[in-house]
Chain A
Amino acid sequence: MTISAVASDADDSVAYTFASRYVREALPRFRIPEQSIPKDAAYQIINDELMLDGNPRLNLASFVTTWMEPECDRLIMAAVNKNYVDMDEYPVTTELQNRCVNMIAHLFNAPIGEDETAVGVGTVGSSEAIMLAGLAFKRKWQNKRKAEEKPYDKPNIVTGANVQVCWEKFARYFEVELKEVKLKEGYYVMDPAKAVEMVDENTICVAAILGSTLTGEFEDVKLLNDLLTEKNQETGWDTPIHVDAASGGFIAPFLYPELEWDFRLPRVKSINVSGHKYGLVYAGVGWVVWRNKEDLPEELIFHINYLGADQPTFTLNFSKGSSQIIAQYYQFIRLGFEGFRNIMENCTENAKVLKAGIEGTETFDIVSKDVGVPLVAFSLKDSGKYTVFDVSETLRRFGWIVPAYTMPADAEHVAVLRVVIREDFSRSLAERLVTDIKKVLTDLENRWTKTTMVSHVKAEENPDGGGAVVIKKSVKQTHEEIARYWKRLVDRKRTSGVC
């Protein structure tokens, strides 16, 4: 008779994860754990925690791509251990980046000859791209002022109040003053006439947005170009334009090719676009293209003796993964011009369906325009009973993430909900969203009409002069006031930092 020994609990190779001790122990939060654990346990623990994250595809707040074809996923995983900056070792990856830059430059009608290469760079996102472009403008302006022997210590940049937060980051970190053109009700983008008025001799550039974060509108870059050219002629300054085409850069060329907003306008010197928005790549890639070499001061370019070879580079980040660059090239050759156009047309169609559905509830005003980035921004006609913030919170219960936010100055009294239509937001999802919105509205209406308790009684002089009047405030009203107070407190700190 053989004696069988029972495998002890410490035999990790046969341990069944949920039977082992690893799911009983507390997770390290503040300190690195002393012991190692088996890889299956590590995977399972983290996977299980992440289940409580939101579902990326139901996140209607973000422009950032949340789905790619499995073939592309394969390429991404195969390239995940390639360091993008090792240009010497990975010459093909570097060449793919160059090809992408050239394609984007051509898409934006950059004035380069058939054999010339465009000047541009791949970045981690539009934030880095904008900082690089801003830095180039700042340095060019400083050099010009030094040559003219004028003071160059107070550069400023003119933008609309609807700019994305990264312009303010650029301004604050690189010590440039930000002059914002305020919005007004009904006009939620930068007014070119006002912007040109604000330009002075210290302005390093005027930044226009193609695809405003808040309402998806395209700013009138052509008008800005014309007015600015006039002013430049009058004053002798040479103020350029930068177009922040983070979302619109991959929409306008396909849907509105006759719209003049890119390098066809002579004042436009650089354009940035997010590969991870309508470039249809996962988060982590952006592009910036300059009109030509002269617009990029040589002193900003680093010639690195990187592991033996000379490489000109102009980035803020150094080591990063190559996967997104390869994914971008994949999308370019896989889809081609017609593929991108078809996708954008689908998005616009779905946006129309959603818009019609929302209008059909007769409780909302549509704030976004038809021409622009495919998104639908809408506000409540009557915010007395409940606000868009309530709608946003209640929609969460169904799994939808629809953000609500107030507009920047001077339209802070307007609050909107915004739904972004990405490529993976199909018509069926749009119809489901409308159904769920209707459910939410019914739910909120019911809550309001329930019997309310009196929470606050105050006596006041009757304004008509006939004794005192008792003012009652219900619990709900008090709650609303408190909520509004805290929301304003948060909003005042900074802007609708949605992206």
Chain B
Amino acid sequence: MVLTIVQRQEEESLGPIFASRYVQDPVPRYALPEKSISKDAAYQIIHDELLLDSSPRLNLASFVTTWMEPECDKLIIEAINKNYADMDEYPITTEIQNRCVNIIARLFNSPVNEKESAVGVGTVGSSEAIMLAGLAFKRRWQTRRRAQGKPCDKPNIVTGANVQVCWEKFARYFEVEIKEVKLRDGFYVMDPVKAVEMVDECTICVAAILGSTLTGEFEDIKLLDDLLARKNMRTGWDTPIHVDAASGGFIAPFLYPELQWDFRLPLVKSINVSGHKYGLVYAGVGWVIWRNKEDLPEELIFHINYLGADQPTFTLNFSKGSSHIIAQYYQFLRLGYEGYKNVMKNCMESAKILRQGLVQIGCFDIISKEKGVPLVAFSFKDGKKSSAFKLSKILRRFGWIVPAYTLPPDVEHMTVLRVVVREDFGRTMVEKFLSHMKIALKELHSVMEAPIPTIRYTIELRPCEAAEDAALRPLPKVVVLNQEVEPVDRSIHLSGGKTKGVC
């Protein structure tokens, strides 16, 4: 008879996850755990925790793309281990980036002829793009001032108060003063006239936004260009314009091709756009294009002897994944001009239906304009500040994330709610959202009109100890004996027997 010795199998590799010890052990938070665990356990633990994150597609607060075709997902995961900075190893990926830059440059009517290559770079997002553009302007201005023998230590930049926070970051980190053109009631973007007034000899550029974060409007860049050109002629300064087209850059060329906002205007020297907004790519890619080589000071460009070859680069980040660049090219190739136009048209349609639905409800003012980025910004007609925040909270319960925020100076008294219409927010979702909105409003009104909760205090007045100063009259001390909340009747009466009870 053969004696069989039972091998003790490693429990980890056989046991089902939810039967193992892993779901009982505390999750490591502050220190690296001592031991390894099986990959299935690691996957399951993290996956389960992430269930409590909100659903990206119901996030109506963000412009950033939340859906791409499965074929593109395949390309993304295949390229995930390619380091974008390794230009020598991945020449095709580098070429794809160059093609994207050229495509975008020509979309923005860059003055390069058919065979010339445009100057631009792929970044991690519009923040990096804006910092690079700002740095180029700052350095050009400094060089010019030094050549003129004038002081160059106090650069400033003129923008509207509606700029996105990354302009303030740029200003603060790169030591540039930010001069904001304040907003006013009914006019929620930068006023070109006021902006040009604020320009002085230390202004490195005027930043205009195509697609304001708050209301989606396009600023009047043509007017800015005309006024600034006149001022430049008068003063002899050479103040340029930068267009922050983070959201609008992939909308205007398809929906409003006759709108002059890009390199067709002579003072526009650089434009940035987010690939991950209406470029229809996942978070993590932006683009900045310069009009031509002269607008990008050579001293900022690094020539890296990267693994043998000379490469000019101008980025803040170095190593990053290549997936998003490839995904952007996929979208250009897959959709083409007509595809992008159709997607944007659909977005505008959905935005229109949403706007009409909200107007029909009757208690909202629509702040956003029809022409611009497809979003709907609305505020309560009665102007009570807290209503917008409360409504936002109630909508959260249904799963929708609709942010509420106060506008920047000088219109801080206004509170708006904003719904961004992305490509994946179709008509059915609009209608569902409107129905939830109606329910939420009902609840909001009932909450506001609800009886104010009362607390009944029982107190006793007791004599206090003698005061130090005999001249002062001793006041009695108040002692709370009992406090109770008066219950508000919120019960649901079970009329009709057990049929309406829980099961």
Contact = CB atoms under 8 A, between A and B. Distances in A.
B318 A61 contact: no
B128 A172 contact: no
B36 A494 contact: no
Interface string A56-73: 110101101111110111
A200 interface: no
A206 to B, nearest CB: 22
A236 interface: no
A332 B32 contact: yes
Contacts of B143: none
A405 B307 contact: yes
A73 B337 contact: no
Nearest to B38: A334
Given A53-B90, A56-B82, A317 B71 contact: no
A32 B168 contact: no
Contacts of A83: 56, 62, 64, 276, 283
Nearest to B101: A30
Interface stretch (B169-177, B229-237, B379-387): B169-177
Contact of B316 (A165, A173, A490): A173
Given A282-B81, A338-B34, A61 B307 contact: yes
B179 to A, nearest CB: 19
B128 A317 contact: yes
Given A50-B79, A99-B30, A106-B30, A30 B305 contact: no
Contact of B66 (A46, A81, A125): A81
Contact of B169 (A307, A316, A320): A316
22 contacts: A30-B103, A36-B338, A71-B43, A89-B54, A89-B59, A89-B401, A90-B54, A91-B53, A103-B32, A106-B30, A283-B82, A308-B403, A317-B124, A317-B316, A320-B283, A332-B33, A337-B32, A338-B35, A405-B308, A494-B302, A495-B304, A495-B305
Interface in B388-404: 389, 392, 401, 403-404
Contacts of B172: 299-300, 302
Interface in A22-80: 27-37, 39-40, 42-43, 45-47, 49-50, 52-54, 56-57, 59, 61-62, 64-69, 71-80
A52 B35 CA distance: 41
B114 A274 contact: no
Interface stretch (B197-205, B325-333, B455-463, B477-485): B325-333
A69 B38 CA distance: 11
Interface in A141-197: 153, 165-166, 168-169, 172-175
A80 to B, nearest CB: 5
Contacts of B283: 81-85, 319-322
A255 interface: no
Interface stretch (B92-100, B350-358, B432-440, B442-450): B92-100
Given A84-B283, A321-B284, A49 B92 contact: yes
Given A31-B103, A39-B71, A86-B62, A307 B93 contact: no
Contacts of A338: 34-36
Contacts of A42: 71, 330, 333-334
Contacts of A330: 42-43, 46
A124 interface: yes
Interface range for A: 35 or more
B339 interface: yes
A91 to B, nearest CB: 7
Given A36-B335, A80-B282, A317-B127, A493 B27 contact: no
Given A299-B172, A318-B126, A72 B43 contact: yes
A497 B302 contact: yes
Interface string B363-392: 000000000000000000000000001001
Contact of A64 (B77, B128, B166, B319): B319
Contacts of A102: 29-31
Closest 10 CB pairs of A and B: A497-B304, A334-B42, A36-B339, A307-B403, A493-B303, A339-B36, A42-B334, A71-B43, A43-B71, A54-B89
A37 B30 CA distance: 49
Contact of A46 (B29, B54, B65, B333): B333
